[in-house]
Amino acid sequence: MKKTKALDAIHRHFEEWDPLLFSVLSAMPLELLKKEGETDRYFSKLCREIISQQLGSKAASAIVARFYALFPDGHATPQQVLKHPEGELRAIGMSWAKARYVRDLADKVAAGAIHLPALPAMDDEQAIAELTKIKGIGRWTAEMFLMFTLGREDIFSFGDLGLHKGLAMIYGKRKTAKPYAVARITGAWAPYRSYGSLAVWHIADDAKKKPS
């Protein structure tokens, strides 16, 4: 792992404020979160987030690939999506609900009701409020978009089951059973809660790979 001043600052923060999680971060590969620089890609990435909800990675990847293949350059735009009725989207593996959600997103962006290029200038809660205006995008989906598309470094998703499982593995079930206890633990990670989340997911994912 190539160390940078930014990564050093993240490690130093956890070393001071949460030595237990620092030990996890120190033993895993860690890279800085990347911001998607092309705002016209936001729409396509939100479609992917909607399609992937509540699906395993393999099934989600297959449907997303078929979705992108509907478009000449593999890049979805609101105008192109609206050319495909719900039935065509259902035919590539989407549920009827997700087909409606993707078209609702396309309709709102095309009509200017949602202005995706404005998201980087918003703070986290403003961006989440804007994204959750769209049918099918709840707080969790918005938080994942902030973290992995906007590169926001201080996101912790209280609704993420994997995070709760990982926290229990690291700190113990008794210490993570109540929301206020989780808030106390993760509050110490600020302003790097996204990196703390990556460490917790790392532990949860490792546990899945181990034979029971």
CATH: 1.10.1670.40, 3.40.50.720, 3.90.1110.10, 1.10.940.10. Which one for 5-33+156-209? Answer: 1.10.1670.40
**Overall average pLDDT of the 42-67 stretch:** 90
Topology of the domain covering 39-148: Endonuclease III; domain 1 (1.10.340)
pLDDT exceeds cutoff 70 at 92? yes
Query: Catalytic annotation on 104?
Result: no
Please report which confidence band the pLDDT of residue 211 belongs to, taking 50, 70 and 90 as the band edges: low
pLDDT exceeds cutoff 80 at 110? yes
Per-residue DSSP letter, 27? T
Please report which confidence band the pLDDT of residue 207 belongs to, taking 50, 70 and 90 as the band edges: low
Q: Where are the domains of the chain?
A: 5-33+156-209, 39-148
**Residue 1 confidence (pLDDT):** 45
More confident residue, 35 or 209: 35
Please report which confidence band the pLDDT of residue 68 belongs to, taking 50, 70 and 90 as the band edges: very high
Q: Is the Cα torsion angle 122, 7, 44, 54 positive or negative in sign?
A: negative
**Residue 208 confidence (pLDDT):** 67
Indicate the average pLDDT of the chain. 91
The C-alpha torsion from 73 through 79 and 80 to 85, rounded to 10°, is: 170
Please report which confidence band the pLDDT of residue 198 belongs to, taking 50, 70 and 90 as the band edges: very high
pLDDT exceeds cutoff 70 at 209? no
Question: 115-125 pLDDT, tens per residue?
Answer: 999 999 999 99
**Overall average pLDDT of the 115-137 stretch:** 93
Q: How far apart are CA 169 and CA 166, in angstroms?
A: 5
Question: 51-63 pLDDT, tens per residue?
Answer: 988 887 889 999 9
Full DSSP string of 170-203: HH-TGGGSSHHHHHHHHHTTTT-HHHHHHHHHHH
- Residue in 18, 73, 107, 160 annotated catalytic: 160
Cα dist. 121→125, 137, 150 in Å?
A: 12, 20, 10
Question: 168-184 pLDDT, tens per residue?
Answer: 999 998 888 899 999 99
